[in-house]
Structure 1
Amino acid sequence: MSPRALLLLALLLRTAAPRGPRPPPLSGEPQGHTRGATIHISQVTALRLLALSPGSHSLVYLFMGDSEMNLGLPLFEALAYVDDQLFVSYNHESRRVEPRAPWVLGKTSSQLWLQLSQSLKGWDNMFTVDFWTIMDNHNHSKEFHTLQVILGCEVQEDNSTRGFWKYGYDGQDYLEFRPETLDWKAAEPMAWATKKEWEVHSIRARQNKAYLERDCPQQLQQLLELGRGALDLQVPPSVKVTRQVGSAVTVLRCQALHFYPQNITMRWLKDGQPLEARKVEAKAVLPNGDGTYQGWTVLAVQPWEEQRYTCRVKHSGLDQPLMAAWSKESSLSRTLVIGVVSGVIVCILVLSVGIAFQILKRKQAARKTQLETQRGRLAQSTMCRTVGPSKQQPPKELFSSLPHFLRFSKSFLREYL
């Protein structure tokens, strides 16, 4: 694990993670007395830093605590994941294990749930003791400090297992347990005092080894059985390679889209041979909004060498690795499709504007006709008041001039008098 990555692992979101995050930086975060709770990452990124193998399953516990209770942050908080799914949470204040996944609900009376509760309560006490031990060894008593722990195991496709148990203090990698030698690896000189103190008690090392190599894999198998159907879903990725031409180099981008679970391997080949990881510009795996994932990896190449490179993708949803490469034909097809789609969209817009204009024009004409009709009726009712049957209709120019009015009056008198 890279330096400072442990801080990122533990300072994950306490609520649901946002669905379109960009990869967080692995360096440059504040150190020492920083307010760790202001830095958040998703559990997806935290689990990705463990570099889990495609087709494997993992059980991961993330612990975090701080030294100042008056900040409103818990002294100890734990989140547990099977693969990338959060299924349990716990904190020091409530001392209760809370189910966080649908496939766990209704199982809280089982023996497995009782074991989880006992383990988390025991780790709560151990975490508190370890925190004060580390602070005492650093002569830290009043300042704000944080402690982060990640522990768990991975069961790979061949049933081999791998355990991990790592501590981070104030944003830096601190100690890592090595089960093969029953000792602790110090990541910095300041951790040596704690390393020596913990290695005096060999019973703790043996208990850690037993959990990582025996208890954790057994617990993971029980959880996988409990979550059957929800945890064994396999969605294979679709893969494409695109090109961006620059002034000096060409950038090839390999994308794997809409896959589950998140564990995936994407690697560039040149003339069929794998490239060294240091030659790859960047890569990331991010969540989609529908529960699946997307991954990408970028490579800078010479402008005339694009077709010598191939992207190889391995995923548990694939029967065999998927190979993808950039080609002029596929690029031309995509350009043609984009052009056709753009033309159709423009035609639809023009047609929509024309229809809207005609509808508006007709409405205006109908409104004008209706207004003129209303004005005519109002003029008639104002010009004449009918008192009986009439053989002669009053002329429209009734009051347009005085002679017209006089002629109408004489005619009216002869008719009725």
Structure 2
Amino acid sequence: MGPRARPVLLLLMLLRTVAPHRQPPRSHTLRYLFMGASEPDLGLPLFEALGYVDDKLFVSYDHESRRAERRAPWVWSKSSSQLWLHLSQSLKGWDHMFTVDFWTIMDNHNHSEIMRLGVLSESHTLQVILGCEVQEDNFTRGFWKYGYDGQDHLEFCPETMNWRAAEPRAQATKLEWEVNKIRAKQNKAYLEKNCPEQLQQLLELGRGFLDQQVPPSLVKVTHHMASEVTTLRCQALNFLPENITMRWLKDRQPLDAKEVEPMDLLLNGDGTYQGWMVVAVPPGEEQRYTCQVEHSGLDQPLTATWEPSPSGTLVIGIVSGITVCVIIFLSGILFRTFKKRHVFRGIMRDYVLAEVNLTQMKGKVQKTTY
């Protein structure tokens, strides 16, 4: 696979990773994304880290500067200085850990030896996601996953302190890491203790910012036709938090989940979200379908239906009006032209008659003279 295709795989991996889980109400998540390339020929850094609280970016770090940068206004408070110092040190440690893990995985794929020999100039990528989710009942779920060259590779299981291989080539690294029992204990301690504690501290700092309730600014239904398939798309725009319920109703009755496509959710650049859900409908029955949206920022659910655009009727009316005006205008021109010709013919007839009479009178005069 060529180097040009790898950024696409990396992007797909990151989008799948960053996409928020369907969290229960009032759950909170702290997650870190690590990514890097073995060779800087893809425009990717050797190591870059991004930190998110409830999918809101609050910190970034890169290998070149070796500095953590604040990415949210609420992180700049004086009370965050100690937390920020600890976080910066952790990111530097993860920078080192990432490099060691990267070379271990490449060694087990024989990629590092090939690169040393200069036989292969192709770059490889590593992605890591780690963090925790804390629910309202204090139930904690930790996650720590590795992706290699844009594909799932290894996942740490805190319950057993083992690694789960997502592909056969990951078996060698899995066995090597499971020998290191100290590392497994440190990973488990971070996911079950350190991460939830840090999340609680960040939530305290971000109080008033992270718990904003922004209802959808707009809910609309659009109509699409492709080949012989007619679809309706319901869109909810600019809401926060991301927990939202969207459903399609037919004749005011909810449709079965198998009849509609799963809801898609996307993070906007301003930190809000947008969601959409699509359903295929028989042509001519669009008015029987209604989209219903529920969100914590709404007092009551919002509904929307597809309304045929009046533009088609308007265009027909305009064209018809113009046609009538043109016909009337041309009729007026023809009428005036005909009228002018009629008057002109009357004048010419009178003129001819006048000449005839004049000639006859001249003849009579001449006869009388002789």
Q: Tell me which of 188, 191, 197 is aligned to 1:212.
A: 191
Q: Which whole-Å CA distance do the structure 2 matches of 1:228 and 1:158 have between them?
A: 19
Q: 1:174 to 1:267 in 2, by over 3 A?
A: farther
Q: Which whole-Å CA distance do the structure 1 matches of 2:191 and 2:224 have between them?
A: 46
Identify unmatched segments of 5+ residues in structure 2: 116-121, 319-370
AA in 1 matched with 2:212: L
Equivalences, count: 305
- Aligned ranges 1:107-186 → 2 under 5 Å: 107=78, 110-141=81-112, 142=115, 143-186=122-165
Q: 1:288 to 1:209 in 2, by over 3 A?
A: closer
AA in 2 matched with 1:171: G
Per the alignment, residue 414 of structure 1 pairs with none
Runs (4+) off by over 6 Å? 41-45
Given that residues 214 and 239 in structure 2 are in contact (C-alpha distance below 8 angstroms), is that contact kept between their aligned partners in structure 1?
Answer: yes
Per the alignment, residue 337 of structure 2 pairs with none
SS of the residue aligned with 1:103? Answer: helix
Per the alignment, residue 259 of structure 1 pairs with 239
Given that residues 248 and 255 in structure 2 are in contact (C-alpha distance below 8 angstroms), is that contact kept between their aligned partners in structure 1?
Answer: yes
Kindly indicate whether residue 271 of structure 2 is the aligned counterpart of residue 300 of structure 1: no
AA in 1 matched with 2:49: A
Q: Tell me which of 56, 62, 65 is aligned to 2:36.
A: 65
Per the alignment, residue 48 of structure 1 pairs with 19
Which is worse superposed, 109-118 or 147-156? 109-118
Q: Which whole-Å CA distance do the structure 1 matches of 2:287 and 2:176 have between them?
A: 57
Q: Tell me which of 207, 210, 213 is aligned to 1:231.
A: 210
Given that residues 247 and 254 in structure 2 are in contact (C-alpha distance below 8 angstroms), is that contact kept between their aligned partners in structure 1?
Answer: no
Deviation at 1:225, TM superposition (A): 1.2
Given that residues 32 and 171 in structure 1 are in contact (C-alpha distance below 8 angstroms), is that contact kept between their aligned partners in structure 2?
Answer: no
Given that residues 290 and 303 in structure 2 are in contact (C-alpha distance below 8 angstroms), is that contact kept between their aligned partners in structure 1?
Answer: yes
Q: Which whole-Å CA distance do the structure 2 matches of 1:244 and 1:37 have between them?
A: 32
Kindly indicate whether residue 255 of structure 2 is the aligned counterpart of residue 284 of structure 1: no
Q: 1:128 to 1:245 in 2, by over 3 A?
A: closer
Q: Which whole-Å CA distance do the structure 1 matches of 2:141 and 2:277 have between them?
A: 26
Q: Which whole-Å CA distance do the structure 1 matches of 2:206 and 2:20 have between them?
A: 24
Deviation at 1:221, TM superposition (A): 1.5
Given that residues 137 and 194 in structure 1 are in contact (C-alpha distance below 8 angstroms), is that contact kept between their aligned partners in structure 2?
Answer: yes
AA in 2 matched with 1:181: T
Q: Which has the higher contact order (CA 8 A, sep 6+)?
A: 1
Q: Structure 1 vs Structure 2: percent identity of aligned residues?
A: 67
- Aligned ranges 1:18-417 → 2 under 5 Å: 33-34=3-4, 36-37=6-7, 40=11, 46-48=17-19, 50-53=21-24, 55-68=26-39, 73-107=44-78, 110-141=81-112, 142=115, 143-237=122-216, 238-244=218-224, 248-268=228-248, 272-273=253-254, 275-276=256-257, 279-281=259-261, 283-288=263-268, 291-303=271-283, 306=286, 310-318=290-298, 322=301, 324=303, 326=305, 331=307, 335=309
Q: 1:34 to 1:177 in 2, by over 3 A?
A: farther
SS of the residue aligned with 2:145? Answer: strand
Q: Deviations over 1:115-168 (max 9, x none)?
A: 211221221121111111111111112142111001112233444332221110
Given that residues 63 and 150 in structure 1 are in contact (C-alpha distance below 8 angstroms), is that contact kept between their aligned partners in structure 2?
Answer: yes
Which is worse superposed, 31-40 or 195-204? 31-40
Given that residues 145 and 156 in structure 2 are in contact (C-alpha distance below 8 angstroms), is that contact kept between their aligned partners in structure 1?
Answer: yes
Q: Deviations over 1:283-309 (max 9, x none)?
A: 433355655332111011334765665
Which is worse superposed, 231-240 or 64-73? 64-73
Q: 1:152 to 1:226 in 2, by over 3 A?
A: same
SS of the residue aligned with 1:110? Answer: helix
Deviation at 1:105, TM superposition (A): 2.3
SS of the residue aligned with 1:118? Answer: helix
Instruction: Give TM-score, length-normalised by structure 2.
Output: 0.70
Deviation at 1:104, TM superposition (A): 1.5
SS of the residue aligned with 2:76? Answer: coil
SS of the residue aligned with 1:128? Answer: helix
Q: 1:272 to 1:218 in 2, by over 3 A?
A: farther
Q: Which whole-Å CA distance do the structure 1 matches of 2:87 and 2:6 have between them?
A: 27
AA in 1 matched with 2:38: S
Q: Which whole-Å CA distance do the structure 2 matches of 1:314 and 1:54 have between them?
A: 13
Q: Which whole-Å CA distance do the structure 2 matches of 1:288 and 1:74 have between them?
A: 24
Q: Which whole-Å CA distance do the structure 1 matches of 2:67 and 2:79 have between them?
A: 11
SS of the residue aligned with 1:104? Answer: helix
Q: 1:32 to 1:248 in 2, by over 3 A?
A: closer
Identify unmatched segments of 5+ residues in structure 1: 1-30, 347-417
